Amino acid sequence: MTKPKSKSQTIERAFLIFDELMIADQDIPTLAEHCNLTYSTAYRIVQFLYDQGYVQKSNGKKFKLGSKLIQLGFRAYDNTNLVRSARPFLEALNEQTQDTVHLAVRESGNVVYLDKLAGYRAVNISSSIGGRKCLHNTGVGKALLLLSTPEELAEVYEREGGVPEQRREFLLNMQQYAREGYALDNGEDSPNIRCVAAPILAKPDRLVAAISVSSTVEYMNDQRINELIQVVKNAAADISAEVYGYRPG
């Protein structure tokens, strides 16, 4: 009985094919030879990559890298440029608030942290650069959802396992956040952590990222949260203007 190939092995072989196509357009027999694969394996992988847009047909029976890889490259460049350009504003926000500051994007249905500056207080925030969290119960996650429709919000809440009895409260809070251009985490992610977040916009209808200021309830009473809302919104607007040339009103 033939042992099925692992997913990691298939991914490794796909990247071997990418490496070969970076050198030159090639047909399947040549790819199979250069990647030390059987023809059938090379054909199966190339066909999948072709169907997904990662490779496309070139002259005759040859293949070349596809446009979807260009899209991925631009997305990676955008994120890198965003982190680099946002850093001075995040550092200023970190210095001003003395609290932990995050920069995050929405990717594959999750919050993904692109940058984190630890606060000056003895507070541990359970997040890390490259780490993932849910959208519906984090400050940056809610900020990343501010342009979503009620139907989209409900779908995210249910998919992420939100408490059914709190669904209506979540939707009502999101309506208020969308009107006022910020979002809060009042302990939904971690009971002793509170957070103020705001979106980074490239256009009025294009939300690309979010930032947040987080600390423990000891340093985040209602009065301080109210004071931080405009501070965080201003920092997010500065980043929007610096990176995308758009300043939210």
Query: Taking the domain 78-244, which CATH number applies?
Result: 3.30.450.40
- CB distance 151 to 120 below 8 Å: no
What's the rounded mean pLDDT across residues 140-169? Answer: 96
Residue ranges of the domains in the chain? Answer: 7-65, 78-244
Q: Kindly report the average pLDDT of the chain as a whole number.
A: 91
**CA separation for the pair 97, 246 (Å, rounded):** 25
Query: For 40-54, 61-75, 84-98, 176-190, which range has the lowest pLDDT when averaged over its residues?
Result: 61-75
Predicted confidence at residue 122, as pLDDT, reads 85
Predicted confidence at residue 2, as pLDDT, reads 44
- CB distance 210 to 159 below 8 Å: no
Fold classification of 7-65 (topology level)? Arc Repressor Mutant, subunit A (1.10.10)
Residue owning tokens 């600390």 = 215
Predicted confidence at residue 125, as pLDDT, reads 87
Predicted confidence at residue 77, as pLDDT, reads 61
% of the chain with per-residue pLDDT over 90: 73
pLDDT in tens, 2-14: 444 566 788 889 9
42 pLDDT more than 80: yes
4, 5, 13, 55 from 8: Cα distances, Å: 12, 8, 9, 20
